[in-house]
Amino acid sequence: MAQQPPHIAIIGAGIFSRNTYIPRLAEISDLFVLRAIWTRGAVEIAKKFFPNVECKWGETGLSEIIDDVSIIGVAVVLAGQAQVEMSLRLLKGGKHVLQENYYQGLNIVAYSAVSELETAMSCYNSFNVAPIWAIAENYRFEPAFVEGRKLLSEVGDIINVHTIIEGSMNISNPYFSSSWRRSFEGGFILDMGVHFIAGLRMLVGCEITSVSALTSHVDGTLPPPDNISSTIQLENGSSGVFVMVVSSKSPKVLWRVVGLKGTIQVERGNIDGKHGYTVMLFTGDGGNKSWFYPFSGVTDELKTFLADTSLATMKKDQSFPVEHRLSFLEGARDVAVLEAMLESGRRQGATVQLARYRANLSAVSLDTVAYVTPYS
Ligand SMILES: *[C@@H]1O[C@H](CO)[C@@H](O)[C@H](O)[C@H]1NC(C)=O
Ligand SMILES: *[C@@H]1O[C@H](CO)[C@@H](O)[C@H](O)[C@H]1NC(C)=O
Ligand SMILES: *[C@@H]1O[C@H](CO)[C@@H](O)[C@H](O)[C@H]1NC(C)=O
Ligand SMILES: *[C@@H]1O[C@H](CO)[C@@H](O)[C@H](O)[C@H]1NC(C)=O
Protein backbone atom coordinates (compact mmCIF):
# COMPACT_ATOMS: atom_id res chain seq x y z
CA MET A 1 0.00 0.00 0.00
CA ALA A 2 1.38 3.40 -0.90
CA GLN A 3 2.27 5.38 2.16
CA GLN A 4 0.09 8.41 2.79
CA PRO A 5 1.83 11.65 3.62
CA PRO A 6 1.46 12.42 7.34
CA HIS A 7 -1.09 15.01 8.44
CA ILE A 8 0.36 17.62 10.73
CA ALA A 9 -0.46 20.81 12.62
CA ILE A 10 1.56 23.84 13.70
CA ILE A 11 1.11 25.33 17.16
CA GLY A 12 2.28 28.93 17.37
CA ALA A 13 2.50 31.84 15.03
CA GLY A 14 5.52 33.74 16.29
CA ILE A 15 8.22 35.28 14.14
CA PHE A 16 10.03 32.00 13.59
CA SER A 17 6.83 30.23 12.62
CA ARG A 18 5.84 32.93 10.14
CA ASN A 19 9.28 33.70 8.69
CA THR A 20 10.81 30.27 8.68
CA TYR A 21 8.59 27.27 9.42
CA ILE A 22 5.70 28.06 7.15
CA PRO A 23 7.82 29.09 4.12
CA ARG A 24 10.19 26.10 4.55
CA LEU A 25 7.26 23.72 4.93
CA ALA A 26 5.72 25.18 1.78
CA GLU A 27 8.84 24.11 -0.16
CA ILE A 28 8.31 20.47 0.80
CA SER A 29 4.51 20.50 0.76
CA ASP A 30 4.37 17.21 -1.17
CA LEU A 31 5.69 15.38 1.92
CA PHE A 32 2.79 16.11 4.30
CA VAL A 33 -0.65 17.65 4.65
CA LEU A 34 -0.84 20.76 6.86
CA ARG A 35 -4.23 20.32 8.47
CA ALA A 36 -4.33 23.04 11.07
CA ILE A 37 -2.52 25.98 12.52
CA TRP A 38 -3.24 27.15 16.05
CA THR A 39 -3.36 30.86 16.99
CA ARG A 40 -4.70 33.70 14.93
CA GLY A 41 -1.46 35.51 14.12
CA ALA A 42 -0.46 33.35 11.18
CA VAL A 43 -3.75 32.87 9.39
CA GLU A 44 -2.86 35.09 6.48
CA ILE A 45 0.57 33.72 5.83
CA ALA A 46 -0.57 30.12 6.34
CA LYS A 47 -3.49 30.54 3.92
CA LYS A 48 -1.14 32.02 1.35
CA PHE A 49 0.97 28.87 1.24
CA PHE A 50 -1.65 26.33 2.33
CA PRO A 51 -5.11 27.43 1.11
CA ASN A 52 -6.85 24.47 2.77
CA VAL A 53 -5.34 24.82 6.23
CA GLU A 54 -7.81 25.18 9.09
CA CYS A 55 -7.06 27.98 11.51
CA LYS A 56 -7.87 27.18 15.11
CA TRP A 57 -7.45 29.02 18.34
CA GLY A 58 -8.28 28.97 22.01
CA GLU A 59 -8.80 25.96 24.20
CA THR A 60 -11.47 24.56 21.87
CA GLY A 61 -9.18 24.75 18.86
CA LEU A 62 -6.41 23.01 20.74
CA SER A 63 -8.71 20.22 21.91
CA GLU A 64 -9.91 19.74 18.33
CA ILE A 65 -6.34 19.28 17.14
CA ILE A 66 -5.58 16.81 19.94
CA ASP A 67 -8.77 14.85 19.33
CA ASP A 68 -8.28 14.65 15.58
CA VAL A 69 -6.68 11.23 15.17
CA SER A 70 -5.75 11.94 11.57
CA ILE A 71 -3.24 14.56 12.76
CA ILE A 72 -0.20 12.54 13.77
CA GLY A 73 2.52 15.15 14.17
CA VAL A 74 2.68 18.68 15.53
CA ALA A 75 5.38 21.35 15.32
CA VAL A 76 5.42 23.45 18.50
CA VAL A 77 6.81 26.95 17.92
CA LEU A 78 5.77 29.01 20.95
CA ALA A 79 7.55 31.41 23.27
CA GLY A 80 10.29 29.64 25.25
CA GLN A 81 8.59 29.33 28.59
CA ALA A 82 5.41 27.77 27.16
CA GLN A 83 7.02 25.12 24.99
CA VAL A 84 7.43 22.17 27.31
CA GLU A 85 3.97 22.32 28.82
CA MET A 86 2.39 22.42 25.36
CA SER A 87 4.59 19.60 24.07
CA LEU A 88 3.69 17.38 27.01
CA ARG A 89 0.02 17.98 26.44
CA LEU A 90 0.28 17.00 22.79
CA LEU A 91 2.49 13.99 23.54
CA LYS A 92 -0.03 12.81 26.08
CA GLY A 93 -2.63 13.09 23.34
CA GLY A 94 -0.50 10.71 21.26
CA LYS A 95 0.97 13.25 18.83
CA HIS A 96 4.56 13.12 17.65
CA VAL A 97 6.07 16.48 18.55
CA LEU A 98 8.81 18.54 16.95
CA GLN A 99 9.49 21.22 19.53
CA GLU A 100 11.45 24.28 18.51
CA ASN A 101 14.61 24.53 20.55
CA TYR A 102 13.23 26.95 23.13
CA TYR A 103 12.99 25.56 26.60
CA GLN A 104 15.46 27.69 28.39
CA GLY A 105 13.02 28.38 31.17
CA LEU A 106 13.88 24.91 32.41
CA ASN A 107 17.19 25.58 34.17
CA ILE A 108 18.41 22.13 33.45
CA VAL A 109 21.94 22.32 34.77
CA ALA A 110 22.60 20.33 37.87
CA TYR A 111 23.50 23.17 40.20
CA SER A 112 20.13 24.82 39.67
CA ALA A 113 16.82 23.06 40.06
CA VAL A 114 16.87 20.06 37.73
CA SER A 115 13.42 19.42 38.95
CA GLU A 116 11.65 21.09 36.06
CA LEU A 117 13.39 18.90 33.52
CA GLU A 118 12.98 15.90 35.77
CA THR A 119 9.28 16.59 36.10
CA ALA A 120 8.88 16.96 32.36
CA MET A 121 10.78 13.74 31.71
CA SER A 122 8.97 11.67 34.27
CA CYS A 123 5.69 13.01 32.96
CA TYR A 124 6.69 11.92 29.45
CA ASN A 125 7.87 8.54 30.70
CA SER A 126 4.56 7.96 32.43
CA PHE A 127 2.54 8.09 29.23
CA ASN A 128 1.14 4.83 27.92
CA VAL A 129 2.32 5.58 24.44
CA ALA A 130 5.65 7.24 23.81
CA PRO A 131 5.37 9.31 20.68
CA ILE A 132 8.46 11.01 19.27
CA TRP A 133 9.53 14.06 21.24
CA ALA A 134 12.01 15.77 18.96
CA ILE A 135 13.86 19.00 19.58
CA ALA A 136 14.44 21.11 16.51
CA GLU A 137 18.08 22.15 16.42
CA ASN A 138 18.60 22.90 12.80
CA TYR A 139 22.38 23.41 13.03
CA ARG A 140 22.87 19.68 13.43
CA PHE A 141 21.26 19.36 10.02
CA GLU A 142 23.19 22.11 8.26
CA PRO A 143 25.25 20.42 5.53
CA ALA A 144 28.29 22.53 6.49
CA PHE A 145 28.47 20.85 9.91
CA VAL A 146 27.66 17.41 8.57
CA GLU A 147 30.44 17.73 5.98
CA GLY A 148 32.81 19.62 8.31
CA ARG A 149 32.57 16.77 10.79
CA LYS A 150 33.62 14.28 8.12
CA LEU A 151 36.83 16.28 7.63
CA LEU A 152 37.80 16.01 11.29
CA SER A 153 40.05 13.01 10.70
CA GLU A 154 42.10 15.10 8.23
CA VAL A 155 43.32 17.49 10.93
CA GLY A 156 44.70 14.83 13.26
CA ASP A 157 44.83 15.29 17.01
CA ILE A 158 42.92 18.37 18.10
CA ILE A 159 45.05 21.07 19.70
CA ASN A 160 42.41 23.76 20.16
CA VAL A 161 38.85 24.58 19.20
CA HIS A 162 37.48 28.06 18.99
CA THR A 163 34.12 29.59 18.27
CA ILE A 164 33.87 33.32 17.66
CA ILE A 165 30.37 34.72 17.41
CA GLU A 166 29.72 38.39 16.84
CA GLY A 167 25.99 38.52 16.30
CA SER A 168 23.85 41.22 14.80
CA MET A 169 20.94 41.40 17.22
CA ASN A 170 20.04 45.04 16.72
CA ILE A 171 16.82 46.94 16.28
CA SER A 172 16.60 45.96 12.59
CA ASN A 173 16.31 42.30 13.59
CA PRO A 174 12.72 41.01 13.90
CA TYR A 175 13.63 39.15 17.11
CA PHE A 176 15.05 42.27 18.81
CA SER A 177 11.77 43.30 20.42
CA SER A 178 10.62 39.77 21.27
CA SER A 179 9.41 40.04 24.83
CA TRP A 180 9.95 36.47 26.05
CA ARG A 181 13.64 36.56 25.15
CA ARG A 182 13.94 39.59 27.41
CA SER A 183 12.09 38.11 30.34
CA PHE A 184 14.89 35.92 31.69
CA GLU A 185 18.60 36.34 32.23
CA GLY A 186 20.71 35.72 29.16
CA GLY A 187 17.68 35.52 26.87
CA PHE A 188 19.50 36.32 23.67
CA ILE A 189 22.67 34.51 24.71
CA LEU A 190 20.63 31.35 25.17
CA ASP A 191 18.28 31.73 22.25
CA MET A 192 21.06 32.48 19.76
CA GLY A 193 23.83 30.64 21.55
CA VAL A 194 22.29 27.16 21.60
CA HIS A 195 22.76 27.02 17.84
CA PHE A 196 26.43 27.93 18.05
CA ILE A 197 27.03 25.36 20.77
CA ALA A 198 25.18 22.78 18.68
CA GLY A 199 27.46 23.63 15.75
CA LEU A 200 30.54 23.31 17.94
CA ARG A 201 29.49 19.97 19.45
CA MET A 202 28.55 18.66 16.01
CA LEU A 203 31.89 19.66 14.53
CA VAL A 204 34.17 18.26 17.24
CA GLY A 205 32.04 15.20 17.94
CA CYS A 206 32.72 15.14 21.64
CA GLU A 207 31.20 16.63 24.76
CA ILE A 208 32.16 19.73 26.71
CA THR A 209 32.94 18.77 30.30
CA SER A 210 33.59 22.11 31.98
CA VAL A 211 33.60 25.82 31.29
CA SER A 212 34.91 28.98 32.88
CA ALA A 213 33.39 32.21 31.66
CA LEU A 214 33.36 35.95 32.10
CA THR A 215 30.18 37.73 31.12
CA SER A 216 29.39 41.40 30.85
CA HIS A 217 26.65 43.81 29.94
CA VAL A 218 27.75 46.61 27.66
CA ASP A 219 24.91 47.32 25.25
CA GLY A 220 22.05 48.82 27.25
CA THR A 221 19.51 48.11 24.50
CA LEU A 222 19.96 44.37 25.17
CA PRO A 223 19.14 42.36 28.29
CA PRO A 224 22.19 41.30 30.36
CA PRO A 225 24.59 39.76 29.74
CA ASP A 226 25.33 40.56 26.10
CA ASN A 227 28.84 39.24 26.00
CA ILE A 228 30.48 35.95 27.05
CA SER A 229 34.12 34.92 26.97
CA SER A 230 34.50 31.31 28.02
CA THR A 231 37.17 28.67 28.04
CA ILE A 232 35.88 25.18 27.36
CA GLN A 233 37.27 21.80 28.28
CA LEU A 234 36.41 18.90 25.98
CA GLU A 235 36.02 15.37 27.28
CA ASN A 236 38.88 14.08 25.17
CA GLY A 237 41.38 16.44 26.74
CA SER A 238 41.41 19.27 24.19
CA SER A 239 40.40 22.75 25.18
CA GLY A 240 39.21 25.86 23.47
CA VAL A 241 37.34 29.12 23.71
CA PHE A 242 33.80 30.24 23.02
CA VAL A 243 33.29 33.97 22.56
CA MET A 244 29.92 35.50 21.91
CA VAL A 245 28.86 39.09 21.50
CA VAL A 246 25.12 39.43 20.96
CA SER A 247 25.21 42.57 18.87
CA SER A 248 28.20 43.75 16.88
CA LYS A 249 28.56 46.26 14.07
CA SER A 250 30.69 43.83 12.09
CA PRO A 251 29.05 40.40 12.43
CA LYS A 252 31.18 37.28 12.27
CA VAL A 253 30.23 33.68 12.91
CA LEU A 254 33.16 31.29 12.89
CA TRP A 255 34.29 27.92 14.23
CA ARG A 256 37.85 26.58 13.94
CA VAL A 257 39.24 23.23 14.91
CA VAL A 258 43.03 23.35 14.96
CA GLY A 259 44.74 19.97 14.74
CA LEU A 260 48.29 18.68 14.45
CA LYS A 261 47.90 18.08 10.71
CA GLY A 262 45.64 20.94 9.72
CA THR A 263 42.67 23.13 10.55
CA ILE A 264 38.97 23.06 9.73
CA GLN A 265 37.08 26.31 9.62
CA VAL A 266 33.35 26.86 9.21
CA GLU A 267 32.30 30.45 8.62
CA ARG A 268 28.95 32.00 7.88
CA GLY A 269 28.84 33.94 4.65
CA ASN A 270 27.01 34.84 1.55
CA ILE A 271 27.90 33.72 -1.97
CA ASP A 272 25.94 34.80 -5.05
CA GLY A 273 23.14 36.08 -2.85
CA LYS A 274 22.83 32.75 -1.00
CA HIS A 275 23.37 32.67 2.76
CA GLY A 276 25.22 29.70 4.11
CA TYR A 277 28.58 28.50 5.38
CA THR A 278 31.99 28.13 3.84
CA VAL A 279 33.87 25.10 5.10
CA MET A 280 37.64 25.34 4.69
CA LEU A 281 40.28 22.72 5.24
CA PHE A 282 43.79 24.06 5.71
CA THR A 283 46.33 21.33 5.11
CA GLY A 284 49.85 20.94 6.42
CA ASP A 285 51.46 21.90 3.12
CA GLY A 286 50.03 25.42 3.25
CA GLY A 287 47.20 24.58 0.88
CA ASN A 288 43.50 24.88 1.46
CA LYS A 289 40.26 23.55 0.04
CA SER A 290 36.87 25.14 0.45
CA TRP A 291 33.22 24.34 -0.08
CA PHE A 292 30.14 26.53 0.25
CA TYR A 293 26.92 25.08 1.65
CA PRO A 294 23.78 27.23 1.51
CA PHE A 295 21.48 26.98 4.55
CA SER A 296 19.14 24.00 4.46
CA GLY A 297 19.11 22.84 8.08
CA VAL A 298 15.50 23.70 8.85
CA THR A 299 14.27 21.95 5.71
CA ASP A 300 16.41 18.87 6.29
CA GLU A 301 15.28 18.67 9.89
CA LEU A 302 11.60 18.95 8.95
CA LYS A 303 12.03 16.21 6.35
CA THR A 304 13.65 13.96 8.94
CA PHE A 305 10.88 14.59 11.45
CA LEU A 306 8.20 13.85 8.83
CA ALA A 307 9.93 10.65 7.75
CA ASP A 308 10.45 9.45 11.34
CA THR A 309 6.85 10.31 12.17
CA SER A 310 5.57 8.24 9.26
CA LEU A 311 7.74 5.29 10.23
CA ALA A 312 6.71 5.51 13.88
CA THR A 313 3.06 5.58 12.91
CA MET A 314 3.44 2.32 11.03
CA LYS A 315 4.61 0.65 14.24
CA LYS A 316 1.80 -0.66 16.38
CA ASP A 317 3.23 0.83 19.55
CA GLN A 318 4.51 3.98 17.79
CA SER A 319 7.99 3.38 19.17
CA PHE A 320 10.71 4.54 16.90
CA PRO A 321 14.32 5.56 17.49
CA VAL A 322 14.17 9.17 16.38
CA GLU A 323 17.30 10.33 14.56
CA HIS A 324 19.76 11.33 17.30
CA ARG A 325 20.27 14.86 15.91
CA LEU A 326 16.61 15.51 16.80
CA SER A 327 16.72 13.94 20.23
CA PHE A 328 15.73 15.78 23.39
CA LEU A 329 19.05 14.81 24.96
CA GLU A 330 21.10 16.60 22.32
CA GLY A 331 19.03 19.75 22.69
CA ALA A 332 19.29 19.62 26.47
CA ARG A 333 23.08 19.34 26.27
CA ASP A 334 23.35 22.49 24.15
CA VAL A 335 21.34 24.48 26.67
CA ALA A 336 23.27 23.04 29.59
CA VAL A 337 26.60 24.25 28.18
CA LEU A 338 25.32 27.82 27.93
CA GLU A 339 23.67 27.73 31.31
CA ALA A 340 26.97 26.55 32.75
CA MET A 341 28.72 29.52 31.10
CA LEU A 342 26.16 31.96 32.49
CA GLU A 343 26.54 30.43 35.94
CA SER A 344 30.31 30.63 35.73
CA GLY A 345 29.97 34.28 34.68
CA ARG A 346 27.82 34.98 37.74
CA ARG A 347 30.61 33.46 39.85
CA GLN A 348 33.37 35.54 38.21
CA GLY A 349 34.75 32.73 36.11
CA ALA A 350 34.62 29.84 38.57
CA THR A 351 34.89 26.50 36.75
CA VAL A 352 31.51 24.85 36.27
CA GLN A 353 31.54 21.12 35.57
CA LEU A 354 29.06 19.55 33.22
CA ALA A 355 29.70 15.96 34.29
CA ARG A 356 27.18 16.06 37.11
CA TYR A 357 24.66 17.34 34.67
CA ARG A 358 25.08 14.18 32.65
CA ALA A 359 24.69 11.95 35.64
CA ASN A 360 21.51 13.78 36.46
CA LEU A 361 20.19 13.42 32.98
CA SER A 362 20.68 9.68 33.03
CA ALA A 363 19.07 9.61 36.44
CA VAL A 364 15.95 11.01 34.86
CA SER A 365 16.44 8.52 32.00
CA LEU A 366 16.75 11.07 29.29
CA ASP A 367 18.61 8.52 27.23
CA THR A 368 15.36 6.70 26.74
CA VAL A 369 14.17 9.73 24.86
CA ALA A 370 16.97 9.51 22.37
CA TYR A 371 15.73 6.03 21.67
CA VAL A 372 12.07 6.17 22.53
CA THR A 373 11.22 3.03 24.42
CA PRO A 374 8.15 1.01 23.60
CA TYR A 375 5.33 1.10 26.12
CA SER A 376 4.42 -2.13 27.78
C1 LIG B 1 39.97 13.84 21.04
O2 LIG B 1 41.26 14.37 21.15
C3 LIG B 1 42.27 13.51 20.71
C4 LIG B 1 43.58 14.13 21.09
O5 LIG B 1 43.61 15.48 20.81
C6 LIG B 1 42.09 13.26 19.24
O7 LIG B 1 43.08 12.41 18.75
C8 LIG B 1 40.73 12.65 19.00
O9 LIG B 1 40.51 12.49 17.63
C10 LIG B 1 39.67 13.50 19.59
N11 LIG B 1 38.41 12.82 19.47
C12 LIG B 1 37.32 13.42 19.06
C13 LIG B 1 36.09 12.60 18.99
O14 LIG B 1 37.33 14.59 18.75
C1 LIG C 1 21.81 45.78 12.31
O2 LIG C 1 22.67 44.77 11.83
C3 LIG C 1 22.61 44.56 10.42
C4 LIG C 1 23.51 43.39 10.11
O5 LIG C 1 24.80 43.63 10.56
C6 LIG C 1 23.00 45.82 9.70
O7 LIG C 1 22.89 45.63 8.33
C8 LIG C 1 22.10 46.97 10.15
O9 LIG C 1 22.55 48.17 9.57
C10 LIG C 1 22.13 47.11 11.67
N11 LIG C 1 21.14 48.09 12.09
C12 LIG C 1 21.40 49.00 13.04
C13 LIG C 1 20.27 49.91 13.38
O14 LIG C 1 22.49 49.09 13.58
C1 LIG D 1 32.82 42.15 26.47
O2 LIG D 1 33.13 42.12 27.82
C3 LIG D 1 34.44 42.59 28.13
C4 LIG D 1 34.70 42.30 29.60
O5 LIG D 1 33.73 42.94 30.39
C6 LIG D 1 34.53 44.06 27.80
O7 LIG D 1 35.85 44.52 28.06
C8 LIG D 1 34.26 44.22 26.31
O9 LIG D 1 34.23 45.58 25.98
C10 LIG D 1 32.92 43.58 25.94
N11 LIG D 1 32.88 43.58 24.50
C12 LIG D 1 31.82 43.96 23.81
C13 LIG D 1 31.97 43.94 22.33
O14 LIG D 1 30.78 44.23 24.32
C1 LIG E 1 43.67 29.21 -0.24
O2 LIG E 1 44.63 28.85 -1.21
C3 LIG E 1 44.72 29.74 -2.30
C4 LIG E 1 45.75 29.20 -3.25
O5 LIG E 1 45.42 27.91 -3.61
C6 LIG E 1 45.13 31.12 -1.83
O7 LIG E 1 45.11 32.01 -2.91
C8 LIG E 1 44.14 31.61 -0.78
O9 LIG E 1 44.58 32.83 -0.26
C10 LIG E 1 44.00 30.59 0.32
N11 LIG E 1 42.96 31.04 1.24
C12 LIG E 1 43.15 31.25 2.50
C13 LIG E 1 41.99 31.76 3.28
O14 LIG E 1 44.21 31.02 3.05
> What CATH number did the domain enclosing 157 receive?
3.30.360.10
Radius of gyration, alpha carbons of the chain: 21
Residue having the nearest C-alpha atom to atom 2 of ligand 1: 236
SS3 sequence of 279-331? EEEEECCCCEEEEEEECCHHHHHHHHHHHHHHHHHHCCCCCCCCCHHHEHHHH
Cβ of 250 below 6 Å from ligand 2: no
Q: For a pLDDT cut of 90, what percent of the chain falls above it?
A: 40
- Expressed as residue numbers, the domain containing 270 is 139-295
Cα–Cα distances (Å) from 274 to 139, 143, 148, in that order, read 17, 14, 19
CATH number of domain containing 307: 3.40.50.720
CA of residue 86 to ligand 3 center, whole Å? 38
**Which of these, 354, 328, 356, lies nearest to 340 by C-alpha position?**
354
Q: Is pLDDT of 173 > 60?
A: yes
pLDDT at residue 317, as a whole number = 67
- Please tell me the number of the ligand nearest to residue 167's CA: 2
Task: Please check whether residues 159 and 277 belong to one and the same domain.
Answer: yes
With the most atoms of ligand 2 within 8 angstroms of its CB, the residue from 172, 173, 188 to mutate is: 172
pLDDT at residue 174, as a whole number = 63
Q: Is pLDDT of 115 > 80?
A: no
Task: Please check whether residues 163 and 274 belong to one and the same domain.
Answer: yes
Average per-residue pLDDT for the chain: 81
Task: Please check whether residues 238 and 288 belong to one and the same domain.
Answer: yes
Helix intervals (H) in the chain:
15-16, 22-27, 43-49, 58-67, 83-92, 115-125, 143-150, 187-204, 297-314, 328-346, 355-363, 367-370
What is the total count of domains within the chain?
2
**Is residue 70 in some structural domain?**
yes
Minimum-distance ligand 2 atom for the alpha carbon of 251: 5
Strands 262-271 and 274-283: antiparallel
Tens-digit pLDDT profile for residues 292-309:
999 998 899 999 999 999
Q: Quickly state the pLDDT bin for 353 (edges 50, 70, 90).
A: confident
**Is residue 357 in some structural domain?**
no
**Is residue 132 in some structural domain?**
yes
Length of the chain: 376
**Is residue 362 in some structural domain?**
no
Q: Structure pTM?
A: 0.83
Q: Quickly state the pLDDT bin for 117 (edges 50, 70, 90).
A: low
Q: Is pLDDT of 368 > 50?
A: no
